[in-house]
A and B are shown apart, each in its own frame.
Chain A
């Protein structure tokens, strides 16, 4: 790793920036994206709103008090995903090694692209300009030898909103191999992933404020204070030991859902509503990922921890709750559940893109396709339990919460 090759691309105030791009009259104004009404939470705020102290995850009423002049818009996640996909496509033009994190961040490994496109800082600067020219959005890019430091570098490249105004950021911050440790050690220790409200007080007691302070402690001390796993992890991070590769997110291999019951369930009748609900949840996740699958799996763990799985493959890929539930119920019927069931799991594999869908003869006229679209829309708006399969609702009680 002679020169840095990892890029961390982080979109600036992404949701708010998309809203401004779609409605130029918002440009330069404080924009707060969030749930409607006073009970919502801020999903994103433009830098102009941040000047007034508005932050993500803050209750909307508080944001209104801090910045009464802000334009409040309701989050449009489908739209953000669409724009995020466009960003992702642009990043893929640089290298196939793009690892997406949520809608507004990604890691790139440009080691192989340097010969064609120039060194990593050049690629970073070019990317930033293209994202702005082609999509009208700004991002900050960190360039470093590792994911750990690349992410800190993109943070350092961000614009900063202070009480006096917005200070433009560097846009691109490059951390070379030689200055990597010094750069890392300057950061407060809470900049490291995994240092949160539980860990921080313990580190403070050891006199640790910066990552540099952390690096002076022996491993044994950290393990004694934080437990073996966490101690070992922070010991390594303080030394910039992070060899996680950039993993391009492919299509998922499978989607599954399982749940342990508070008490063992006896008999098929008691299990069907759970199976149907899980099938419905898995189908919703398949649709969200834009995939459909042909192989359906059922997992059953009995009270004595004996675990069995059953699977079957159907002709056309499934991504609808009622279709998946039908197959799951049939699999369930082949299992003797009289011994009492502790855990039930439903999964789907053999996934393909659901961009095209084989229509069914019974689909003519408004049917399941429209119902499914409407269910997805209602759930996005009102939450997962806004619409439930009748088998589940008919039990006359809320779905059971999983045992932790």
Chain B
């Protein structure tokens, strides 16, 4: 199919915005890009997802490679939840195909709205422990936090909650064509004691692996338009740098507000799709 330069430029710009927000919040740009490409540009749902998955992989790789993101990644937590998400996706792909997408959209809209409210209710609560003699435990972590200018520690609590959310994230990701990051990052932050930046970086690593598990299928089925995906990926490479730059400087409270706003927007989008 022939795409004029103007279309390629628009997709590149959309990729940049998705990459910026994705890198900032660790959720991958799919939740913004899929509706935009589908509704805004008239691409079919699988083709929009195919392009989106490529941008998620690019965002993930950029964030996980840069020192700013890499130091915040909790590799043990990432692998544990990745396993849960992978099993969830596998179960979803095998069994729940019969569920009406309308119903899933509605459930997803409700869940994201609920998480947005939880996020807002915890704006001033912090998960970081300033006493560096505290043992972070096997699943905890430590990092240098610029906001307070010191090394901080966190412990992972309520691991079963994180595992359940990851399985659920894996389930919906295959069915709705979005990454599980939008559920995992807020859940890790609100329930499991993981600071938002660490949750975002850990999720960034995971969404790349999750997307790499489904992208080859879209690719093999011919649902990945090479020029559009290429343009979106280039946009992401620029946008994610901007996202990392903001992420290092923005206050955590501001990031939480942004996350809540994104969740509310996503919730509204999926709610209206059920009407």
**Do A and B interact with each other, yes or no?**
no
Interface residues of B (CB under 8 A from A): none
